[in-house]
Amino acid sequence: MKPEAVAQQRSQGQCELCAASSPLKLYEVPPQDIPSADTVMMVCDTCLQQIEQKAELDHNHWQCLSTSMWSEVPAVQVVSWRMLNRLRNESWAADLLDMLFLTDEWLAFAKATGDHESDGTVNLHRDCNGAQLFSGDTVVLTKSLDVKGSTVNARVGTVIRNIRLVPDNVNQIEGRIENQQIVILTQYLRRQHS
């Protein structure tokens, strides 16, 4: 049986971390060579966004780890250990972390990404006012910009629709001005609310 099928059957339609029954996604716990039933799990979008550091940590949401950390599934144990480490400044998380036991093999796997050294802060794309930006948003320039290597001059107030976030740099987005795709610093943008 394929790992995804095993995880779907095992989860019984619930997130293997928080037990939410919202739409679930397969999460391959990194680092992955070849996914196996021990290294994949079904998670809800709320858990996934926070695991992948695409959303702020909701400390109350992760209280669910007091139950899920006892799972017999190595993937669930590893992710529980990593998330408890991110939350270790919370006394309840530190207590749970002290109780959680991983075999040497799975502890090494859990430490392999270095995620446990993270303090839980998340770097997100934010506009000049601190509002979070998402792919597909519409933004407005707050400063006139000269586009290098082009005759395009983007003026204050220019509206840029359907932006794309630059994945490896939270200070940049991509957008189209006068039919040219350009990279713009987020500090010169304001998210336009619909």
Q: Which amino acid is at 184?
A: I
Residue 27's closest CA among 12, 10, 44? 44
Name the token pair of 77.
């144990």
Residue owning tokens 């926070």: 50
Q: What is the mean pLDDT of the chain?
A: 90
56-70, 97-111, 116-130, 163-177: lowest mean pLDDT where? 116-130
Q: How many residues does the chain have?
A: 194
Residue owning tokens 């303090």: 119
pLDDT of 60 strictly over 90? yes
CA 3 from centre of chain: 22
Name the token pair of 87.
């939350």
Q: Confirm if 186 and 173 have CB atoms less than 8 A apart.
A: yes
Q: Give the CA distances from residue 188 to residues 45, 58, 129, 146, 162, in Å, rounded to whole numbers and listed in that order.
A: 30, 29, 10, 12, 16
> Torsion-angle region of residue 105: left (phi > 0), alpha (psi -120 to 50) or beta?
alpha
Neighbours of 124 (CB within 10 A): 16
Q: State pLDDT tens for residues 10-42.
A: 999 999 999 999 899 999 999 988 899 999 999
Side-chain half-sphere CA neighbours of 23 within 13 A: 1
Question: In this structure, which topology does domain 139-191 adopt according to CATH?
Answer: SH3 type barrels. (2.30.30)
3-class secondary-structure state, position 162? coil
Residue owning tokens 């290597």: 149
pTM above 0.85, yes or no: no
Q: State pLDDT tens for residues 154-171.
A: 889 989 999 998 888 889
Sketch the domain layout of the chain as residue ranges: 3-117, 139-191
Q: State pLDDT tens for residues 68-98.
A: 999 999 999 999 999 999 999 999 999 999 9
